[in-house]
Structure 1
Amino acid sequence: MVFGEYGLQAVQGGWIPAATIEAGRIAAQQYLRAGGRLYIRIFPHKPITSIPLETRMGKGKGEPEYWAAVVKPGTILFELGGVSEDAARLCFARLAHKMPVKVRFVRRQMM
């Protein structure tokens, strides 16, 4: 972790749509109110395209349906700073329900 004391780490790989990242951001901000700081560590770079149903072959690739972030196992998705561990666990529990990949709570290791 780079920014916060607590993080949400992906246990499995997959794609996370931009709308899911935004839904997680809103849920965390509503829980935190003014206390604490949320850091989003992923960005949706990958366009996911599809062609309309019942379209014949040979008309090209199709328009982007949505944008997604490619997540590998071990990637830190979100970080929190300036809150207690109990508050961070509750906030990340709300975020974990929205994520399409399995995640776990991690804490910064003090030397």
Structure 2
Amino acid sequence: MALMPKRVKHRKSQRGRIKGNATRGNRVIYGEYGLQAVEGGWVSAQTIEAGRIAAQQYVRGEGRLYIRIFPTKSVTSIPLETRMGKGKGEPDYWAAVVKPGTVLYEVSGITEQAAKICFARLAHKMPVRVRLVKRELD
């Protein structure tokens, strides 16, 4: 089941613009390795779920997977071949707004080589360019 908010104040949101780099959620906190976005964009709830399944299948019993993004933006669309006017359209899917530098997924309890392979599988599914990052020791 794809992620979506339980309730929202407004059903339809405007598109907006992705400006600047992520200042929050941009370092690995929960796991040892993370998958960080290099460019901005929208990641749909279906894509997040597909990534979760792909990573979970690889990690299986030995590691732990953390999802660091949540889809809070409703994306609307009008049916094809509809005349102008008649409003904005119904919510089509939910998406997470991702700025450059946002950590999307994290894993712990597996080796760096295993994390590399796991995140390579996820990178194919993501609509934004990503890279592997390690946890910074304070």
TM-score by length of 2: 0.78
Residue number in structure 1 paired with 2:74: 47
Is 2:107 the counterpart of 1:75? Answer: no
Structure (1/2) with the larger helix percentage: 1
Distance 2:114 2:72 in 1: 30
Q: Determine what percentage of the aligned residue pairs are the same residue.
A: 74
Q: Match for residue 33 of structure 2?
A: 6
* TM-superposed deviation, 1:110: 2.2
Aligned with 1:78: secondary structure?
strand
Listed as ranges, the gaps of 5+ residues in structure 2 are 1-27
1:15 to 42, 46, 49: 42
Q: Please, what is the CA RMSD of the aligned residues?
A: 0.8
Give the length in aligned residue pairs: 111
Question: Deviation string for 1:67-109 (max 9, x for gaps)?
Answer: 1100000000000011111111110010001000000000012
- Runs of 4+ in structure 1 deviating by more than 6 angstroms, as ranges, are none
- Relative to total residues, which structure has the larger strand share, 1 or 2? 1
Secondary structure at the counterpart of residue 58 of structure 1: coil
Q: Which sections of structure 1, spanning at least 5 residues, go unmatched?
A: none
